[in-house]
Chains A and B, each alone.
Chain A
């Protein structure tokens, strides 16, 4: 429910606008004998407030969402650590050091595995691969899913029937089973191919959700109004309807990121994901799952990295969802 108690008054709003949007707006410095903090309340002042575009409002709401911003920072830091930190760090993920099976220390923050690989370097390399795979899969799957879902929900009829039968067809077979068969055919090991396979299978969820939304939105008045004034199908879909499903779209896109990371893990567990000597977080967890009793650091660190990455992406998605939906945000812009 809306928290009206937190809604800023006109004076507060004016001050915020003045504080954030540069020189083109109102001066709030005390002048003409006004006391400090007291806004000038002439009518011309009120109407010179700059209009905000939808994206600006979304940005503002997102920036004020503490958890989402915190997660964004965490995610950026982890990504930087994985992509930049791995190059700076003194060990390469392929370097074999003389210290085998060591517990975490200053020399090896995450310990070493039984061959003497520095585990910190390994985990960072794994994080690189996992982030790459997850983002590629999510991007491709969402674009494909939204397009197909929107088209079939909007046009209905035989287009809808045809597309949804394709979705049904893909959904009849478990993702892991398809990926296992395909991976077996290709021989596995190529993570590019693996992410394409995953994207080619994971778009269906998004498509069905978007189609459901479109089916219900297309009956609404504003769509009818747009059609009545002669808007073309493409315009109605992209300009009128799509912004209304951005919430579900983003929620499912973030879910796909998390799902993709987990599928990568599962495929590595089955021996079909990234192959040694290259590594991914999933492969590390899969390889060292039996080390829990003896060398727990090999088990904990890659798992925690997966959790941190997936968690922060999900929280970012949640923040975006709140930011996109003007109806139910706690943080008002």
Chain B
């Protein structure tokens, strides 16, 4: 195993180098960094200055070597305005990682859970419901969804928080959700029966009723701040204790995280369902059942582990997708993260060093995730030999 990891790391190095070459060529050709200067009055002098400062007169390969030498010393070069890229990058990295990791965790946990349950309960209401939801999420353009979220998740919800109250209808919905969830969660396994389902549903409904009553009492007479925010990663000049600060951060994070997570969630739940169904109908699962193992053991010990394999492959890929998706999400919600950094560097003005910094950090993160996924892959599937 140790050797395997070392070998993977050694392979990762040439990939990173190749990736940086590819990206460098892409970025260098993406536009003319002198474009903005041409219309200036003293353009001749400005252009000469910039050309010598950024080695624009040298061939691409030589520029790459200069850049790479800098990277090896941890120097990301200077951006278009002449400032160091590095501090800017670090700030943006922290903001984006917060968003991406939160979205990834939510998507993985929810997606796998929903996928497994809908495979076990194939062709039930839950299965159809989650399938439809997943397909709906696939089918939605991210910022179309984001606009809806801003309208209903932020503006309307904030208005409601000003004078919260729970109607009877909300009560009915909460009770129904409680009953449905309980009947799904507590009615798996060989003891599964209609009666057991009914009892679980009744219990869930009772809990739902309790929750509704408590919430209704708690909400009565309270007013809340306009908590959900649609702009930026945190309130500017926020002062308050650390507890309030966490609340503020959460209020800002909620909508972008949901926006970023929904597509991944849909992907995970679909793939988990498909692979779980495949596994459940395979011979060795039938053997396990024939041995008389309990349903729970068959599902979680035998089927679930194997069914995770395709999803683990997906995770590594999905991390890159999330980073890419962050470009859109950050633009929509006006977060000054990595995505915005890249957007400005490539699409606003041509700023090769900043774009390169973004792409290199992204590439490194994705490669690390791939190695982790490979290890998990080998660990989960005993048929795959590591040598």
> A182 vs B347: C-alpha distance in the bound complex, in angstroms?
11
With A184-B31, A185-B30, A285-B144: A169-B274 Cβ-Cβ less than 8 Å: no
Q: Point out the residues of chain B lying under 8 angstroms from A182, CB to CB.
A: 26
Q: Is B57 an interface residue (CB 8 A)?
A: no
Which residue of chain A lies nearest to B27 when distances are taken between CB atoms in the complex?
A181
Q: A177–B324 contact, CB under 8 A? A: yes
> A303 vs B331: C-alpha distance in the bound complex, in angstroms?
19
Q: Point out the residues of chain B lying under 8 angstroms from A292, CB to CB.
A: 147, 151
Task: Write out, one digit per residue, whether chain A residues 60-91 have a CB within 8 A of any chain B CB (1) or not (0).
Answer: 00000000000000000000000000000000
Q: A303–B144 contact, CB under 8 A? A: yes
Q: Point out the residues of chain B lying under 8 angstroms from A169, CB to CB.
A: 15, 18-19, 22
Q: Is A104 an interface residue (CB 8 A)?
A: no
Q: Is B366 an interface residue (CB 8 A)?
A: yes
Q: Point out the residues of chain A lying under 8 angstroms from B131, CB to CB.
A: 318
Q: Which of B36-44, B135-143, B197-205, B237-245 lines the interface with chain A?
A: B135-143
Q: Is B159 an interface residue (CB 8 A)?
A: no
With A172-B366, A185-B29, A251-B274: A219-B383 Cβ-Cβ less than 8 Å: yes
With A212-B313, A219-B383, A327-B281: A173-B363 Cβ-Cβ less than 8 Å: yes
> A269 vs B26: C-alpha distance in the bound complex, in angstroms?
21
Q: Point out the residues of chain B lying under 8 angstroms from A171, CB to CB.
A: 316-317, 320, 366, 370
Which residues of chain A in 180-203 are interfacial with respect to chain B, using CB atoms and an 8 Å cutoff?
A: 180-182, 184-185
Q: B274–A321 contact, CB under 8 A? A: yes
Q: B281–A185 contact, CB under 8 A? A: no
Q: B309–A174 contact, CB under 8 A? A: no
Q: Is A20 an interface residue (CB 8 A)?
A: no
> A175 vs B26: C-alpha distance in the bound complex, in angstroms?
13
> A315 vs B358: C-alpha distance in the bound complex, in angstroms?
37
Tell me how far the C-beta of B359 lies from the nearest C-beta in chain A, rounded to whole angstroms: 6
How many residues of A are counted as interface, with CB atoms below 8 angstroms from the partner's CB atoms? 60
Q: Is B323 an interface residue (CB 8 A)?
A: yes
Q: Is B310 an interface residue (CB 8 A)?
A: yes
Q: A168–B327 contact, CB under 8 A? A: no
Q: Point out the residues of chain B lying under 8 angstroms from A323, CB to CB.
A: none
Q: Is A311 an interface residue (CB 8 A)?
A: yes
Q: Is A270 an interface residue (CB 8 A)?
A: yes
Q: B343–A314 contact, CB under 8 A? A: no
Task: Write out, one digit per residue, whether chain A residues 246-275 have a CB within 8 A of any chain B CB (1) or not (0).
Answer: 011001000100110110011001111000
Q: B347–A270 contact, CB under 8 A? A: yes
> A314 vs B266: C-alpha distance in the bound complex, in angstroms?
12
Q: A306–B359 contact, CB under 8 A? A: no
Which residues of chain B in 267-287 are interfacial with respect to chain A, using CB atoms and an 8 Å cutoff?
A: 267, 270-271, 274, 277-278, 281
Which residues of chain A in 318-333 are interfacial with respect to chain B, using CB atoms and an 8 Å cutoff?
A: 318, 321, 327-328, 330
Which residues of chain A in 82-107 are interfacial with respect to chain B, using CB atoms and an 8 Å cutoff?
A: none
Which residue of chain B lies nearest to A175 when distances are taken between CB atoms in the complex?
B324
Q: Is A165 an interface residue (CB 8 A)?
A: yes
Task: Write out, one digit per residue, whether chain B residues 250-278 have a CB within 8 A of any chain A CB (1) or not (0).
Answer: 00000000000001000100110010011
Q: Point out the residues of chain A lying under 8 angstroms from B19, CB to CB.
A: 169, 172-173
Q: A209–B310 contact, CB under 8 A? A: yes
Q: Point out the residues of chain B lying under 8 angstroms from A251, CB to CB.
A: 270-271, 274
Which residue of chain B lies nearest to A1 when distances are taken between CB atoms in the complex?
B122
Tell me how far the C-beta of A12 lies from the nearest C-beta in chain B, rounded to whole angstroms: 21
> A182 vs B26: C-alpha distance in the bound complex, in angstroms?
7
Count of A-B contacts judged by CB separation below 8 Å: 171
Q: Point out the residues of chain A lying under 8 angstroms from B313, CB to CB.
A: 208-209, 212
Q: Is B249 an interface residue (CB 8 A)?
A: no
Q: B327–A176 contact, CB under 8 A? A: yes
Q: Point out the residues of chain B lying under 8 angstroms from A328, CB to CB.
A: 122, 277-278, 281
Tell me how far the C-beta of B382 lies from the nearest C-beta in chain A, rounded to whole angstroms: 11
Q: Which of A185, A247, A321, A330 has the most CB of B within 10 A?
A: A185
Q: Is A286 an interface residue (CB 8 A)?
A: yes
> A271 vs B348: C-alpha distance in the bound complex, in angstroms?
11
With A169-B22, A248-B274: A216-B31 Cβ-Cβ less than 8 Å: no
Q: Is B56 an interface residue (CB 8 A)?
A: no
Q: A180–B346 contact, CB under 8 A? A: yes
> A142 vs B19: C-alpha distance in the bound complex, in angstroms?
24
> A1 vs B122: C-alpha distance in the bound complex, in angstroms?
7
Partner of B320, one of A172, A209, A266: A172
Tell me how far the C-beta of B64 lies from the nearest C-beta in chain A, rounded to whole angstroms: 15
Q: B23–A311 contact, CB under 8 A? A: no
Q: Point out the residues of chain A lying under 8 angstroms from B76, CB to CB.
A: none
> A173 vs B319: C-alpha distance in the bound complex, in angstroms?
11
Q: Is B48 an interface residue (CB 8 A)?
A: no
Q: B136–A311 contact, CB under 8 A? A: yes
Tell me how far the C-beta of B257 lies from the nearest C-beta in chain A, rounded to whole angstroms: 18
Q: Is A145 an interface residue (CB 8 A)?
A: no
> A321 vs B310: C-alpha distance in the bound complex, in angstroms?
16
> A316 vs B135: C-alpha distance in the bound complex, in angstroms?
11
Q: Is B10 an interface residue (CB 8 A)?
A: no
Q: Point out the residues of chain A lying under 8 angstroms from B367, CB to CB.
A: 168, 172
Q: Is A289 an interface residue (CB 8 A)?
A: yes
12 additional contacts (CB under 8 A) given A184-B346, A269-B331, A309-B139 = A3-B123, A165-B14, A168-B15, A172-B19, A173-B23, A173-B362, A180-B30, A180-B327, A181-B29, A209-B314, A289-B144, A318-B131
Q: What is A's interface to B at a CB cutoff of 8 Å?
A: 1, 3, 165, 168-169, 171-178, 180-182, 184-185, 204-205, 208-209, 212, 215-216, 219, 247-248, 251, 255, 258-259, 261-262, 265-266, 269-272, 282, 285-286, 289, 292, 299, 303, 306-311, 314-315, 318, 321, 327-328, 330
Could you jot down 8 A-B contacts, CB within 8 Å? A172-B366, A173-B19, A177-B327, A177-B359, A185-B26, A209-B313, A266-B142, A314-B139
A-B pairs with lowest CB-CB distance, top 9: A174-B324, A310-B139, A172-B363, A181-B26, A265-B141, A184-B30, A176-B324, A303-B144, A307-B139
